[in-house]
Structure 1
């Protein structure tokens, strides 16, 4: 048994490509992506409208001179970015409504909201 496993292990990638190990789901449509820029202690845009009941990606870019954080208590999301860095967050479908977020390092000015319609 050990010898058979040793012989088949290198073939697993090829078997997967050929579909012998099972079908791989293909996304029919790309996930909607929205961009949020952090600059000078503010979020641009301050309001992001997203489709309700739809999974989406939020691309976050820090164009400021210092670190900044995207944080939303009600959405249970946070992401700290160094200057010049970018990253993304994936959001599960949101019910219609308004969801606030803020920047931990500039809480007085870095305020925003996601509006699911």
Structure 2
């Protein structure tokens, strides 16, 4: 019976993580068919937040930020998200690794 308890703990942990991500402040970043981002400059408060990623193009895209150590590949027409925790205000570049000529900036604002 201890394996049942262990499984219950794992399921509860996953459910809590999913619910926690759903309650975070959420911002949207859209990959446009022309290879651009909308918005190209995304302002967020310091702390923990979620960026919903939407690929409106007919090609794969990859959200990547080296200073934030985040990357996420999305197929054509796919939606997904990344959760970021950062306490230091500042500007953090991001780009689409498949279209590196277009850059964006995540602006982390101080907590009010």
Common fold by TM > 0.5: yes
**1:116 corresponds to which residue?**
108
Give the alignment partner of residue 42 of structure 1, picking from 10, 27, 36: 36
Question: Unmatched 5+ residue regions in structure 1?
Answer: 17-23
2:3, 2:98 → 1: CA distance? 49
Give the root-mean-square deviation of aligned CA atoms: 2.2
Question: Normalising to structure 1: TM-score of the pair?
Answer: 0.73
SS in 1 for 2:77: coil
Q: Report how many residues are paired.
A: 96
Structure number with larger C-alpha Rg: 1
2:70, 2:3 → 1: CA distance? 39
* Structure 1 position 93, deviation (Å): 2.6
1:32 aligns with 2:46: no
Question: Normalising to structure 2: TM-score of the pair?
Answer: 0.76
**1:74 corresponds to which residue?**
67
* Structure 1 position 94, deviation (Å): 3.2
SS in 1 for 2:86: coil
SS in 1 for 2:107: strand
Q: Which has the higher strand share?
A: 2
Question: Unmatched 5+ residue regions in structure 2?
Answer: 10-15
SS in 2 for 1:74: coil
1:114, 1:67 → 2: CA distance? 21
Give the alignment partner of residue 91 of structure 1, picking from 84, 97, 110: 84
* Structure 1 position 9, deviation (Å): 7.4
4+ residue segments displaced more than 3 Å? none
